[in-house]
């Protein structure tokens, strides 16, 4: 069972370009979370999605950022018109459907290796 | 708003020593608390998870304790090894929410 897969691992963009970050959750997991780690800072929650639904986007910047988790395919975090301040490591995590006593009941999230975005 | 603080920000100790990392949180209404390890340029590895009803969890040389009423957790590492060098992150989940709220981490260096 492969872990959470994120790609690309490294992404370089010029100011004003678009960045698309992909996350394939672990097999059987239908909950996806995105976190951002700015240089020398801790991880900050961005958004929580289930298949075809955004559940909590309280950590998403109001402009330029969007996320989706379609019925088929990976979750996508999209950043439009990137600026230098968007340079960070973006981590995705997934967890399974809720069931009593299982990993979901404990809210165990499994993390990917991250995408490191550099904006020139 | 939940805030998580980790002290110290960095720690350097000789190999073989026992050590304690500290984590504090402002809102005691948590669902659980997790300790993670992060290696440079890598993702996060979950080390221990403590449910709000539990007092401690142990895994090998690691022991994590939780005092919910005082808003504190400690991660105890016994007989430290150079391979333990990493950043250790503490994170809490609030009751009724799914997101993790992280501390800024403690960067640990074990010197051979």
What percent helix, strand, coil does chain A show, rounded to 5? 0, 50, 50
Token output for A50: 């289930």
Q: With contacts defined as CB-CB under 8 Å, which chain B residues touch A44?
A: 102
Q: How many residues does chain B have?
A: 112
- Residue A103, pLDDT score: 54
What is the CB-side half-sphere exposure of residue B109 using CA atoms within 13 A? 5
What is the distance between the alpha carbons of residues A59 and A47, in angstroms, rounded to a whole number? 6
A34 touches chain B (CB under 8 A): no
- Residue A102, pLDDT score: 56
Rounded to a whole number of angstroms, the distance from the CA of B102 to the nearest CA of chain A is: 6
* First vs last C-alpha separation in chain A: 36
Rounded to a whole number of angstroms, the distance from the CA of B20 to the nearest CA of chain A is: 20
A34: helix, strand or coil: strand
- Residue A100, pLDDT score: 45
Write out chain B's pLDDT in tens, 112 residues: 889 999 999 999 999 999 999 999 999 888 899 999 999 888 899 999 999 899 999 999 999 999 999 999 999 999 999 999 999 999 999 877 788 999 999 999 999 9
What is the distance between the alpha carbons of residues A34 and A92, in angstroms, rounded to a whole number? 5
Rounded to a whole number of angstroms, the distance from the CA of B52 to the nearest CA of chain A is: 10
What is the distance between the alpha carbons of residues B70 and A107, in angstroms, rounded to a whole number? 23
B84: helix, strand or coil: helix
* Mean pLDDT across A14-31: 94
The 10s digit of each residue's pLDDT in A69-117 is 999 999 999 999 999 999 999 999 998 865 444 555 567 889 999 999 9
Of the candidates B41, B89, B100, which has its C-beta nearest A109's C-beta?
Answer: B100
- With 60 as the cut, is the pLDDT of residue A21 above it? yes
Report how many helices (DSSP H) and strands (DSSP E) chain A contains, helices first. 0, 11
B84 and B77 Cβ atoms separated by less than 8 Å? yes
B55 touches chain A (CB under 8 A): no
B79 touches chain A (CB under 8 A): no
Closest residue in B to A4 (Cα–Cα): B43
């Amino acid at each position: 069972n492969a872990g959470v897969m994120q790609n690309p691992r490294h992404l370089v963009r010029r100011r004003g370009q678009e960045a698309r970050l992909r996350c394939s959750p672990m097999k059987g997991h239908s909950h996806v979370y995105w976190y951002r780690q700015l240089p020398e800072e801790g991880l900050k929650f961005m958004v929580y999605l289930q298949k075809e639904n955004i559940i909590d986007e309280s950590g998403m910047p109001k402009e330029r950022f969007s996320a989706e988790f379609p019925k088929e395919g990976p979750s996508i975090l999209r950043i439009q018109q990137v600026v230098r301040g968007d340079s960070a490591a973006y981590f995705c995590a997934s967890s399974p459907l809720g069931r009593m006593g299982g990993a979901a009941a404990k809210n165990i999230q499994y993390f990917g290796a991250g995408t490191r975005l550099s904006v020139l | 708003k939940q805030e998580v603080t980790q002290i110290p920000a960095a720690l350097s100790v000789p190999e073989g020593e026992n050590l304690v990392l500290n984590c504090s949180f402002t809102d005691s209404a948590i669902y659980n608390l997790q300790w993670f390890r992060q290696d440079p340029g890598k993702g996060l590895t979950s080390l221990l998870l403590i449910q709000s009803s539990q007092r401690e969890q142990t895994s090998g040389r690691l022991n994590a304790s939780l005092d919910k009423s005082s808003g504190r957790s400690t991660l105890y590492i016994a007989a430290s090894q150079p391979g333990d060098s990493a950043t250790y992150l503490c994170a809490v989940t609030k009751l009724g929410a799914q997101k993790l709220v992280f501390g800024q981490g403690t960067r640990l260096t074990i010197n051979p």
